[in-house]
Chains A and B, each alone.
Chain A
Amino acid sequence: MSTTAAPVFSVQGLWKVFGPKADRVPEDPELTGLEPAELRTRTGCTAAVRDVSFDVRKGEVFVVMGLSGSGKSTLVRCLTRLIEPTAGTIAIDGEDVRAMDRARLRELRRHRAAMVFQHFGLLPHRTVLDNVAYGLEIQGVRKTERRERAASVVAKVGLEGMEKRRPSQLSGGQRQRVGLARALAVDPEVLLFDEPFSALDPLIRRDMQDEVVRLHREEGRTMVFITHDLSEALKLGDRIALMRDGRVVQLGTPEEIVGSPADDYVREFVRDVPREQVMTVRTAMKPGGCGAADHPDALTPDAVVADAIRTVARNGRPACVVENGRCLGVVDHERLLGVVAGTEQLREAA
């Protein structure tokens, strides 16, 4: 993952306000500062997305996470203008999305960004194969070709042999695989997921998350993933934007979110996260080389603390953290326990 490449999506100062004369809200500094309830009583408007800015980098999984009503689903729909934003700029590969005319916008939706929906949004009167091929049909791809391409995507998401079934004959997990395949079939630059697994049973949800991880590893496609499930966000996200009442309250890697919460809301949110599964030894270690020539049982800086605990406990002595043959620092019992107990980040803050 290269962090220097131009962002796929670049969002600046995005607003979405529902209600009468919504346009005036983002422009009026007096209104923009109001709490949601106050804004509603004053203007009758609801601000679903308030002054949101972020970049989605090429090849990353960008997770937007928040509770219901935090505006995350509205936000993702604004990206392809399924919901028309009220103010702000959105650019895809540097091209202004809000300035696009209808034809250009259709082009964007057809080829560059495809979406996976919470309740799948499948066409009940079509077979699995025809559902997957639907995006290609919209584009005007010939029948034989689109069926061929759809069949290969169906195989990729593990639905071989079910091509002739109707959505009503599938389980929830299988339906979402169809939804995923439909989005993949058009070979988009970005995949947008709107809480795709919330409607699924926990075990199937885990399968599907693994599926997304696998697809991302194999294809390196850029993904924007909306979820209300913190563990899902931590599992999938390269970076996470945490939303509350339409604003992004913190944007960072899972480790940053868990390790140094921006405010009490985020702290409360991540309180029950098993920190040793998220934090890496890079933050846990005592910086500075160990001075020794070789480093038996060394750890990589990206290893999570849980792995380090296993190593340290087995050897009964501190472990070195080595990157490219150079020793970056040392982790010992005390350091690791500090991470697990959560006292680590308090000391940093102090």
Chain B
Amino acid sequence: MATVTAAAPRVALPGFLHNRAARKLVLLAVAAAVLVPLAEARWAGGSWPHALTVDLSKPLADASDWVIDNRDSHPLFLYFFGYISNAVVLFVRVVYLGLLAAGWAGVTALGALVAWRVAGVRLALGTAAAFLACGVLGMWVPTMQTLALMVVAVLASAVVGVLLGLAAGLSDRLDRALRPVLDTMQVLPAFAYLLPVVLVFGIGVPAAVLATVVYAAPPMARLTALGLRGADPEVLEAVESLGATARQRLLTARIPLARKELLLGLNQTIMMALSMAVIASVIGAGGLGDRVYQALASVDVGAALAAGIPIVLLAVVLDRVTAAAGAGEDRSAPVQWAYAGAATVVVALASRLLGRLDWPASWTLNIAEPVNRAVDWMTAHLYSGVPYIGGTADWAGHFTTWILDPVRDGLQWLPWWSVLLLVATLAWLIGTWRTALTAVLAMAAIGVLGVWEPSLDTLSQVLAAVAVTLVLGFATGIAAARSDRFERVLRPVLDVFQTMPQFVYLIPVVALFGVGRAPAVAAAVVYALPAVVRITAQGLRQVDPAALESARSLGATGRQQLWQVQLPLARRSLLLAVNQGVVLVLAVVIIGGLVGGGALGYDVAFGLAQGDLATGLVAGAAIVGLGLVLDRVTQPTERRTTEGA
């Protein structure tokens, strides 16, 4: 689209090889002409040749058996992992008991007072309402379980993240070493982290907490390093000119100057921790996520919703409160914090004396039943057979047979080398030879691991979901960029959608479409859409107003402005939107394995459920590979844009 209109005149130039893209294509064609006949002669056929696979299931199964056998005896477990595991269990237990001892009134008061101090009265009321809603839905205890796990995981993530961030912020060498690792961790689906942790710690709370820490620490580390590096150099010079020591410089200037980034990092870490704490129910996290997981397993939408609503409420409250803390000036008045603490204690003691620690059973509202009735009604009336428009199940079925199946069969029919070639071409055209090489190696690794077919199945779902996401996302984004009113309406919706954990999206799609691949794709679309819309709209709005004005002064119509000025100039944002869309879609398509999405996600879930860690680990590695491929293929590089400009 935009790129084509911009690139076409350049290709038509007489010196055709001077064009970068053309040069790359010619080089690739030459390489393919040499390598493909060789490959085809030796290992013909569509799927990845069996001769080139390495069967890891045996050694992995052995490793997993060894770990299970030695978990209680080997010194590595006794004196290292054992301590970590025990410490995690202990901390979670302490926090959990603390929350229970404070009682529902105490916790609600504490939450509201903290929100009041950092974010004002409105958010305080919202927080209180959210906690009470959790109680009313009969989810007080699971909410506290999730919260306890979150508190420990967030503290650990923040400590780990800040330490890594300090290292990367102060040392150039460590920054160069850490950055690619953190960048890559950021794009991997949450599911990929579960199995290695389970291998070491077994299923249970320690594994859940540690998986959460691994998943949630990178944003803290990245933003800490970013904040430290982004400090105004003249301020640092001024501090130095006054004779500050390195320690004074760090404590009185660099860290306070990075306050905004640190709090943003904390915000992201909390949101990611919540997302993961919910997903980690698959490996024994308990709490709200577990309720959703169990309910989804028996397609009990009502119960899933009753647990899902508290998750959403927690997410929104945590996000708003921490975001407000980051946006506001720091108004630390210790006295008021002391008042807040005292008030919490008073409320907790009062509720204890009144014998009202537990949420009163008579105050709960059972929404599962009416919801399930509604879902039953929907199933009966909307699933299929609605005149003219069909039904939701019909749509899902059509989507599967007309889009998902052909794409999957097409991908699996393609000779394996042509898939590699395709990956290489796309990645090199959009990025550099480096990203292309990483992508091709990652794709080849998937083949070597022997999970070519399920990976292509996952890939087909991702492609279908990305296509839908981009069509909807670009259209909505363009509309939002062109109409202020539409954007104002859209913004709060996007805000809420972007804070919700991935897991929650499975609930409504199961209600609407049942289980299968189509609902997984639908959940992925809904999850990825807000980011794509937002990035597109922002990119279009940031287009240089002078360029737009000059186009208008030449009499360009609205359509001409959009196609000839805004879209080409926003090219970088659009590519970023594609990249984000792909990464987010993959994350949810994988989780979709829990609701019948099959393929890699199912392998992981199956491996966990059956204790067959080898299958799960191989699938997990393939997810990592697929994540790398998809990210690198769509990753635009800095260099290219400067040259294009």
Q: Is the beta-carbon distance between B259 and A125 smaller than 8 angstroms?
A: yes
Q: Is the beta-carbon distance between B329 and A121 smaller than 8 angstroms?
A: no
Q: Contacts A125-B259, A137-B252 given: A114-B234 contact, CB under 8 Å?
A: no
Q: Is the beta-carbon distance between B241 and A119 smaller than 8 angstroms?
A: no
In the complex, B237 has a CB within 8 A of chain A? yes
Instruction: Give min CB distance, A238 to chain B, whole Å.
Output: 23
Q: Is the beta-carbon distance between B242 and A124 smaller than 8 angstroms?
A: no
Q: Is the beta-carbon distance between B248 and A138 smaller than 8 angstroms?
A: yes
Q: Is the beta-carbon distance between B242 and A125 smaller than 8 angstroms?
A: no
In the complex, A115 has a CB within 8 A of chain B? yes
Partner of B238, one of A111, A115, A139, A186: A115
Specify which chain A residues have a CB less than 8 angstroms from the CB of B75 in the assembled complex: none
Q: Is the beta-carbon distance between A123 and B242 smaller than 8 angstroms?
A: no
In the complex, A237 has a CB within 8 A of chain B? no
In the complex, A135 has a CB within 8 A of chain B? yes
Q: Is the beta-carbon distance between A110 and B243 smaller than 8 angstroms?
A: yes
Specify which chain A residues have a CB less than 8 angstroms from the CB of B237 in the assembled complex: 77, 82, 117, 121
Q: Is the beta-carbon distance between B238 and A110 smaller than 8 angstroms?
A: no
How distant is the Cα of A139 from the Cα of B239 in the complex, in angstroms?
12
In the complex, B245 has a CB within 8 A of chain A? yes
Majority DSSP secondary structure for residues of B touching A: helix
Q: Contacts A117-B234, A117-B238 given: A124-B243 contact, CB under 8 Å?
A: no
In the complex, A118 has a CB within 8 A of chain B? yes
Specify which chain A residues have a CB less than 8 angstroms from the CB of B299 in the assembled complex: none
How distant is the Cα of A134 from the Cα of B251 in the complex, in angstroms?
13
Q: Is the beta-carbon distance between A80 and B235 smaller than 8 angstroms?
A: no
Q: Contacts A109-B240, A134-B252 given: A122-B235 contact, CB under 8 Å?
A: yes
How distant is the Cα of A77 from the Cα of B241 in the complex, in angstroms?
9
- Name the residue on B nearest A102 (C-beta): B245
Specify which chain A residues have a CB less than 8 angstroms from the CB of B257 in the assembled complex: 123-125
Q: Contacts A123-B256, A125-B330, A134-B252 given: A118-B241 contact, CB under 8 Å?
A: no
In the complex, A107 has a CB within 8 A of chain B? yes
Specify which chain B residues have a CB less than 8 angstroms from the CB of A179 in the assembled complex: 238
Q: Contacts A134-B252, A137-B252, A138-B248 given: A121-B243 contact, CB under 8 Å?
A: no
In the complex, A108 has a CB within 8 A of chain B? yes
How distant is the Cα of A299 from the Cα of B237 in the complex, in angstroms?
48
0 or 1 for each of A270-292: is its CB under 8 Å from B? (1 = yes):
00000000000000000000000
Q: Is the beta-carbon distance between A82 and B240 smaller than 8 angstroms?
A: yes
In the complex, B562 has a CB within 8 A of chain A? no
How distant is the Cα of A159 from the Cα of B242 in the complex, in angstroms?
21
Specify which chain A residues have a CB less than 8 angstroms from the CB of B551 in the assembled complex: none
Instruction: Give min CB distance, B92 to chain A, whole Å.
Output: 35
How distant is the Cα of A125 from the Cα of B262 in the complex, in angstroms?
14
- Name the residue on B nearest A139 (C-beta): B243
How distant is the Cα of A112 from the Cα of B459 in the complex, in angstroms?
67
Instruction: Give min CB distance, B332 to chain A, whole Å.
Output: 11
Specify which chain B residues have a CB less than 8 angstroms from the CB of A182 in the assembled complex: 238, 242
In the complex, A106 has a CB within 8 A of chain B? yes
Q: Contacts A109-B241, A134-B252 given: A121-B235 contact, CB under 8 Å?
A: yes
Q: Contacts A118-B234, A166-B329 given: A125-B256 contact, CB under 8 Å?
A: yes
- Name the residue on A nearest B259 (C-beta): A125
How distant is the Cα of A138 from the Cα of B234 in the complex, in angstroms?
17
Q: Is the beta-carbon distance between B241 and A82 smaller than 8 angstroms?
A: yes
In the complex, B312 has a CB within 8 A of chain A? no
Specify which chain A residues have a CB less than 8 angstroms from the CB of B239 in the assembled complex: 121, 123, 134, 138
Instruction: Give min CB distance, A190 to chain B, whole Å.
Output: 12
How distant is the Cα of A82 from the Cα of B238 in the complex, in angstroms?
10
Specify which chain A residues have a CB less than 8 angstroms from the CB of B329 in the assembled complex: 166
Instruction: Give min CB distance, A79 to chain B, whole Å.
Output: 10
Specify which chain B residues have a CB less than 8 angstroms from the CB of A77 in the assembled complex: 237
How distant is the Cα of A323 from the Cα of B242 in the complex, in angstroms?
44
Q: Which of B251-289 contact A (CB under 8 A)?
A: 252-253, 256-257, 259
How distant is the Cα of A137 from the Cα of B243 in the complex, in angstroms?
11
Specify which chain A residues have a CB less than 8 angstroms from the CB of B243 in the assembled complex: 105-111, 135, 138-139
In the complex, B244 has a CB within 8 A of chain A? yes
Specify which chain A residues have a CB less than 8 angstroms from the CB of B330 in the assembled complex: 125
Q: Is the beta-carbon distance between B242 and A109 smaller than 8 angstroms?
A: yes
Q: Which of B235, B241, B329, B330 has the most CB of A within 10 A?
A: B241
How distant is the Cα of A192 from the Cα of B238 in the complex, in angstroms?
12
How distant is the Cα of A135 from the Cα of B252 in the complex, in angstroms?
11
Q: Is the beta-carbon distance between B241 and A114 smaller than 8 angstroms?
A: yes
Q: Is the beta-carbon distance between B241 and A123 smaller than 8 angstroms?
A: no
Q: Is the beta-carbon distance between A123 and B240 smaller than 8 angstroms?
A: no
- Name the residue on B nearest A119 (C-beta): B234
How distant is the Cα of A135 from the Cα of B253 in the complex, in angstroms?
12
Instruction: Give min CB distance, B325 to chain A, whole Å.
Output: 14
Q: Is the beta-carbon distance between A114 and B256 smaller than 8 angstroms?
A: no
Q: Which of B341-365 contact A (CB under 8 A)?
A: none
Q: Is the beta-carbon distance between A114 and B235 smaller than 8 angstroms?
A: no
Specify which chain A residues have a CB less than 8 angstroms from the CB of B252 in the assembled complex: 123, 134, 137-138
Q: Is the beta-carbon distance between A110 and B242 smaller than 8 angstroms?
A: yes
Instruction: Give min CB distance, A16 to chain B, whole Å.
Output: 16
Specify which chain A residues have a CB less than 8 angstroms from the CB of B245 in the assembled complex: 106, 138
0 or 1 for each of A110-151: is its CB under 8 Å from B? (1 = yes):
110011011111111100000000110111000000000000
0 or 1 for each of A66-107: is its CB under 8 Å from B? (1 = yes):
000000000001001010000000000000000000000111
0 or 1 for each of A41-83: is its CB under 8 Å from B? (1 = yes):
0000000000000000000000000000000000001001010
Instruction: Give min CB distance, A138 to chain B, whole Å.
Output: 5
Instruction: Give min CB distance, B239 to chain A, whole Å.
Output: 8
Q: Is the beta-carbon distance between A134 and B242 smaller than 8 angstroms?
A: yes
Specify which chain B residues have a CB less than 8 angstroms from the CB of A124 in the assembled complex: 235, 257
Instruction: Give min CB distance, B476 to chain A, whole Å.
Output: 36
Specify which chain A residues have a CB less than 8 angstroms from the CB of B256 in the assembled complex: 123, 125
Specify which chain B residues have a CB less than 8 angstroms from the CB of A166 in the assembled complex: 329
- Name the residue on B nearest A105 (C-beta): B243
Specify which chain B residues have a CB less than 8 angstroms from the CB of A115 in the assembled complex: 238, 241
How distant is the Cα of A114 from the Cα of B243 in the complex, in angstroms?
9
Instruction: Give min CB distance, A179 to chain B, whole Å.
Output: 8
Specify which chain B residues have a CB less than 8 angstroms from the CB of A106 in the assembled complex: 243-245
Instruction: Give min CB distance, B5 to chain A, whole Å.
Output: 41
Q: Is the beta-carbon distance between A186 and B242 smaller than 8 angstroms?
A: yes
0 or 1 for each of A145-183: is its CB under 8 Å from B? (1 = yes):
000000000000000000000100000000000010010
Instruction: Give min CB distance, B419 to chain A, whole Å.
Output: 46
Q: Which of B207-262 contact A (CB under 8 A)?
A: 232, 234-235, 237-245, 248, 252-253, 256-257, 259
Partner of B241, one of A80, A111, A120, A137: A80
Instruction: Give min CB distance, A107 to chain B, whole Å.
Output: 7
Instruction: Give min CB distance, A197 to chain B, whole Å.
Output: 15
Instruction: Give min CB distance, B261 to chain A, whole Å.
Output: 13
- Name the residue on B nearest A112 (C-beta): B243
Specify which chain A residues have a CB less than 8 angstroms from the CB of B248 in the assembled complex: 138
Given A115-B238, A121-B235, 6 additional A-B pairs, CB 8 A:
A80-B241, A117-B238, A120-B238, A121-B237, A123-B256, A125-B256
Interchain Cβ contacts under 8 Å between A and B, 21 examples: A82-B241, A106-B243, A108-B243, A109-B241, A115-B238, A115-B241, A117-B238, A121-B232, A121-B238, A123-B235, A123-B252, A123-B253, A123-B256, A125-B257, A125-B259, A135-B242, A135-B243, A137-B252, A138-B244, A182-B238, A182-B242
B contacts, CB < 8 Å to A: 232, 234-235, 237-245, 248, 252-253, 256-257, 259, 329-330
For the complex of A and B, 5 pairs with smallest distance between CB atoms: A121-B238, A110-B243, A109-B243, A106-B243, A115-B241
